[in-house]
Each structure stands twice: as structure tokens, then as C-alpha cells.
Structure 1
Amino acid sequence: MDEYDSEPIRGLPADLPPGEFILWQGAPTRRALALRVFHIRLIALYFAILVAWNVASALYDGHPLPMVLTAGAVPLIPGAIVLGLIWLYAHLIAKTTLYTITSKRLVFRFGVALPRAVNIPFKVIAGAGLKTYRDGTGDLPLTLAGKDRMAYLHIWPHARPWRVNKPEPMLRGIADATEVAETLAGALKAYMTDPDPVRLTEVSGAEISGAPAPTADLAGSPAR
């Protein structure tokens, strides 16, 4: 993990070495982050319950309609502020994050206040997964080989949930996740069979599962 002040190439802290090239770049969507990282729907439901409770209590106590409406409106102001802040933070994370797949590694650039970059060479990737959602976005968690580890809090929210002891970095909430998974699977397969990146352009329709380690088990199932 590196901190840096400039990007000679967008999303990368340094120029690419000779023979390495970019295959794909993308970022998480604001909506995916708000829904699946910050659970904005549950928070909205919480404030909706508070509104309903205040209204029901005012009606039960026999208050006039203006007081009932006032009681129901009381939770709306803090609710709107909280939901607005969540959406703003999701927007900032999406805006400052960029995932890059090259012919030899993945690079995560993120950090709202202080940009950081995490380089994940293909040689340390033991496996990759794919989980897609109905809106077309998806998550691609990565399993690292051997004793290679990253601190969970250092890469959050770009980490698989609840994998704290051995964190798994994750491309989170990306659009067209299936196509990105195919790109990653092809790059991993090309790297395993021949580290020469020139031949990577010949790989198409790469197998998404069943490859030897490092595996690319990217057969995702839509989430409900």
C-alpha cells in the first residue's frame, strides 16, 4: 500500500513497467455503495418507523391534526440529514476510487482525504469470485495466496464483508460486473499459462471456473 501525491497514469501511482498494459479501469457506483455498504434502505426504514410511531402516539393521545403532523415531521429533519450525508459519502468514495486491471496485477486507488494505492500482483491471487445483483452491478472478491494479508480497516470498504482475520480485497459495486470478471479471468489465465503479456490479446471467452491456482472462479449467481 502506497500513499502518493500525483498520478502519472490515471489510477496508478507510477508509470507501468515495459510490457505491462491496462486491460480495464472502473469505479464502484454510488448507488451500490449506499445500498450495500452503508445500508441506506435500512436507515431510511428506521426513520420511517419513527415517523409512524410519533404519528400513532399523537393520535392515541388525542392531539389535534396540526400537532399530529408536527410530531410526524420531527424525525424527518435528522433523517434527511443522515441520509444525505450517507449519499454524499458514497458519492465521494465512488468519485475517488478507481480499480485497474493490468496484464500482471490489480491496482486499487482510493481515499477521500488521502489517496492510497494497493498493488495486488497476479502471483499472490489464489482465487477470485463474482456476485452479481439485479441492477447489473457486482462484487469481485479476491483470495490471496499464502501468508499475504492486508489490514481490513486499511482497505475498507474495498474488502469482502466479515473476512476480518484474513481480509479479501474486493472490487465493489462495479457496473457490468460479468464482463469485468471475464476480463480478469482471461488475464489470470494468460498470466498462468504464459507471463508474456503480448499473448494476452489472443485470449477470449476465458473459462470462468475450474482453472488451477491461481484460480478465477468467477461464476456468480444473482443476489436476491
Structure 2
Amino acid sequence: MSHDDFQTEPVRGLPENLPEGERILWQGQPDWWALTKESLSFWWVAGYFFFLFAWRTISGAATESWIDSATAASFFLVLGGFVCLLLIIMGLIQAKTTMYTVTNKRVAMRIGAALTVTLNLPFRQVVNASLGLRRDGTGTIALELTEESGFRPSYLNTWPHVRPWKMKNTQPALRCIPEAKKVAEILSEAAATAVSHPVVEVTSNTQHAAGHGPVAAE
């Protein structure tokens, strides 16, 4: 029997119901295998332990038989297999507990395995979005935030859902999502539409009398 750890959410992937006029255009999760390979450097780790195995086997063959040397070096293969298994489990958990949402007004990211948080990124706070596409169709969409937004998520607290190595100006990212090009097109069209619409802030009559009239933002 399947169990949804987030079944108490009013809307899947979101901490509250959508405001009037907002609608979901796309929802998805990272591809767990792509996330494991990219964010957890799976093949680098596997290659490192294989290198240790090969190095121990070759160096040991100088004083013992190849079979005895390889048998002694197999410890590195066992240890490497255990570490790789841990990475796979971590990748599965990260993917399962993540939900990315694109609406006609924002990008929402429910992330975190131990401590779950939701990042709400209105399109007016996003100055640029870049797509990193891979041969298998998965990809990462990184969101560059405006300085005026005043919001800079912690790199460590939001990893791996950030653009790699952008630690000073952290860029939240939809990591390793399937059909990334299609999602990027949806996001681009929604952002262009949302930003092209003016936002009007209505002030009180008292403020107007004092010389602070309605302000049209962007």
C-alpha cells in the first residue's frame, strides 16, 4: 500500500491552497538516478574506489601472486559498493521528498528530507533562468534572483536544489528534471506573461492626501 508522506498538504507540493487566479502549469520531481549521478558525484566516487582496488592489486603483485593481491585489494571494492549504495539511497530520498511546481505566477520548491521547507519564487524576483540540458533529456533549470528581492537562500540548506558552485549569489534550481526543455518553455512563457502585467498597489485615502498616491509597480 502506497503512502504519501505529504498527504496533509492542501495542494501537493504547496503549503497552502492557491490564491484566486493562480493555477498550476507543471509539477514534477527530480529523476533520482540523474540526481544521484550529478549532485552526489556517483561515478567519481565509484571510480575512486576502483582506482584504489587497481592500485593495490598492481602494487601487491610485486611481492605476491595476482590472485592473492586482487583478493586483498577486494576490500576497496566492498567498501566502494557500500558507499555507492548509500549514495543511491540518498538520491532516492532526495528525489522522493522533492516537489517542484510552476504556476502562472511563481516557482515553488518543496525540498528537504530531514527538514522540509518550501521556497516561493515569484517571477518578478527572477531576473534570469538558465537551462543545463543532458543527452537523456533531463536537465537543470537555475533561477537567478534580482538583488531587489533581498532573498538569498543558503547554499548548504538548499543543496542539492541549487546551481552547483554558485555559493555567493545562490541560484535555486530545479535539478535533474525529466523533459527539462519542455519545462523550461512552460516556465519562460509563464514568466513573460506574468512580468508583462502591471501590478497596482492601492493605498489608503490618508496616504493619498499626504502626497502618496497609488503606485504602479513594474
TM-score by length of 1: 0.81
**Matches of 2:146 and 2:65, distance apart in 1:** 66
Deviations 1:192-222 (A, max 9, x none): 22369xxxxxxxxxxxxxxxxx9xxxxxxxx
Query: What SS does the aligned partner of 1:129 have?
Result: strand
Match 2:190 to one of 184, 187, 190:
187
For residue 38 of structure 2, what is the aligned residue in structure 1?
36
For residue 208 of structure 2, what is the aligned residue in structure 1?
none
The runs of at least 4 consecutive aligned structure 1 residues that moved more than 3 Å come to none
**Matches of 1:108 and 1:195, distance apart in 2:** 25
Counterpart check, 1:154 vs 2:157: yes
* Distance apart, 1:135 and its partner CA: 1.5
**Matches of 2:84 and 2:65, distance apart in 1:** 30
* Distance apart, 1:6 and its partner CA: 3.4
- Over the matched positions of the two proteins, sequence identity in percent amounts to 39
5+ unaligned residues in a row in structure 1: which ranges?
197-213, 215-224
* Distance apart, 1:69 and its partner CA: 3.2
For residue 49 of structure 1, what is the aligned residue in structure 2?
51
5+ unaligned residues in a row in structure 2: which ranges?
1-5, 200-217
Is the 2:144–2:172 contact (alpha carbons within 8 Å) kept by the matching residues of 1? yes
Deviations 1:25-51 (A, max 9, x none): 011111221111111111111111111
Output the amino acid matched with 2:61: L
Query: What SS does the aligned partner of 1:74 have?
Result: helix
**Matches of 1:65 and 1:117, distance apart in 2:** 55
* Distance apart, 1:16 and its partner CA: 0.5
Output the amino acid matched with 2:182: E
**Matches of 1:193 and 1:68, distance apart in 2:** 68
Output the amino acid matched with 1:161: P
**Matches of 2:11 and 2:196, distance apart in 1:** 28
Question: Would the alpha carbon gap of residues 179 and 101 (structure 1) be closer, same or farther in structure 2, given more than 3 Å must change?
Answer: same
Q: Report which of the two structures shows the higher radius of gyration computed on alpha carbons.
A: 2
For residue 104 of structure 2, what is the aligned residue in structure 1?
103
RMSD after superposition = 1.9
For residue 217 of structure 1, what is the aligned residue in structure 2?
none
Is the 1:5–1:115 contact (alpha carbons within 8 Å) kept by the matching residues of 2? no
Question: Would the alpha carbon gap of residues 178 and 83 (structure 1) be closer, same or farther in structure 2, given more than 3 Å must change?
Answer: same
Question: Would the alpha carbon gap of residues 9 and 127 (structure 1) be closer, same or farther in structure 2, given more than 3 Å must change?
Answer: same
Query: What SS does the aligned partner of 2:137 have?
Result: coil
Query: What SS does the aligned partner of 1:168 have?
Result: coil
**Matches of 1:187 and 1:195, distance apart in 2:** 15
For residue 210 of structure 1, what is the aligned residue in structure 2?
none
Matches within 5 A, 1:110-189: 110-146=111-147, 147-189=150-192
Tell me: higher relative CO, structure 1 or 2? Use CA pairs within 8 A at least 6 residues apart: 1
Output the amino acid matched with 2:108: V
Output the amino acid matched with 1:187: A
Is the 1:141–1:170 contact (alpha carbons within 8 Å) kept by the matching residues of 2? yes
Deviations 1:72-111 (A, max 9, x none): 3111111111000011101100010010001111110011
